């Protein structure tokens, strides 16, 4: 049984039901996520892009951190639009490094390996297709050089605070003292601003969530009727948790690979979380996981932060 099928069957057997957001990213999901990032309500992309364009040289120097050579590993690289500015700056500074993008989407890794060296002359790219920690271990096997790890776009926010703590501790365990980690955090702000970013008027976020049902149908032999599920996002300012659900409109049965799942009307599937942080909370997380906060980089609204941590 493949991992995708195994996790879907297990997650839908839970109470409450859930699906893992890492499986949003097939070819259509990649395209929908690009649409989300380009829609007017979705501010994190613009905020982090501002950081990478307005503070490129400062970022490069902070991440280089005196290293003569290193591997620049990006978790969940996507199309590398933001990190391309950093890559170009490092190449222009004549830094000796290899860019190692990690992504669960094989089509995205192929795209990066083919396109980036053409766009940035002199850039060395070694793509890694798979799960974050599996590929981090592979990067350590490929090269013993210092690691500078990027986790942009608020990806860590896709975990609950408890899971984020466990994730960062695991990250520290596979890195060496002195290695650098840059993490993007979406900061707490007006609740209406946050909620609108996950409920865009064009419906891209809705379609992004529903696309996972289509993917289950096409790849796992499911029979979801996506028209009988409604996208429902929430934001709780007291916890900083922005969550997305799919709500069953009717009593219905869904069959996946011969296994039947009963949905009652108004029953939900928990799809994803996007956790928001205060700056103090990011510093507390770093300290709890064996990192020292080196520097914060903000957009001009201070809606988003890319924070540089060093392994201690």
Question: What are the start-end ranges of the H helices in the chain?
Answer: 3-13, 27-38, 43-54, 56-64, 83-92, 106-119, 132-142, 161-174, 191-197, 204-220, 279-288
User: What CATH code would you report for 43-187+277-311?
Assistant: 3.40.50.150
| DSSP one-letter code for 188 | P
Cβ atoms < 10 Å from Cβ of 3? 9
Beta bridge partners of 255: 260
pLDDT, position 236: 97
Using DSSP's 3-state secondary structure scheme, residue 178 falls into coil
Q: Which run of H or E residues covers position 308?
A: strand 304-311
| DSSP one-letter code for 80 | -
Ranges of each domain in the chain? 3-40+195-275, 43-187+277-311
**Binned average pLDDT, 10 residues per bin, the chain of 312 residues:** 92 97 90 92 94 97 90 92 95 96 90 95 95 92 94 89 96 95 97 96 97 97 97 97 98 97 98 97 98 98 97 96
- Tokens 């709500």 belong to 247
Taking the CA atoms of 177, 180, 183 and 187 in sequence, report the sign of the dihedral they define: positive
Contact 4, 220 (CB under 8 A): yes
């Amino acid at each position: 049984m493949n991992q995708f099928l195994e996790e879907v069957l297990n997650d839908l057997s839970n109470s409450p039901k859930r699906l893992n957001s890492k499986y949003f990213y097939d070819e259509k999901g990649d395209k929908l996520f690009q649409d989300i990032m380009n829609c007017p309500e979705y501010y994190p992309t613009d905020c982090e892009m501002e950081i990478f364009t307005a503070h490129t040289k400062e970022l490069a120097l902070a991440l280089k951190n005196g290293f003569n050579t290193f591997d620049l590993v990006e978790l969940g690289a996507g199309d590398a639009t933001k990190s391309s500015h950093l890559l170009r700056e490092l190449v222009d500074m004549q830094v000796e490094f290899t860019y190692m993008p990690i992504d669960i989407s094989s089509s995205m890794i192929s795209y990066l390996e083919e396109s980036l060296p053409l766009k940035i002359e002199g850039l060395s790219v070694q793509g890694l297709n798979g799960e974050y920690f599996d590929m981090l271990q592979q990067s350590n096997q490929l090269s013993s050089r210092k690691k500078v790890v990027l986790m942009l776009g608020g990806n860590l926010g896709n975990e609950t605070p408890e899971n984020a703590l466990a994730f960062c501790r695991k990250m520290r365990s596979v890195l060496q003292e002195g290695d650098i980690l840059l993490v993007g955090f979406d900061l707490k702000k007006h609740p209406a601003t946050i909620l609108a970013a996950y409920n865009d008027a064009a419906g891209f976020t809705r379609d992004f969530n529903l696309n996972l049902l289509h993917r289950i149908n096409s790849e796992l032999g499911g029979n979801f009727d996506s028209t009988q599920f409604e996208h429902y996002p929430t934001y709780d300012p007291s916890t900083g948790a922005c969550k997305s659900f799919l709500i069953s409109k009717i009593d219905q049965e869904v069959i996946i690979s011969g296994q039947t799942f009963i949905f009652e009307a108004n029953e939900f599937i928990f799809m994803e979380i996007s956790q928001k942080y205060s700056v103090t909370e990011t510093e507390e997380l770093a300290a709890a996981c064996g990192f020292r906060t080196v520097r914060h980089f903000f957009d001009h609204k201070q809606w988003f932060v890319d924070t540089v941590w060093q392994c201690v």
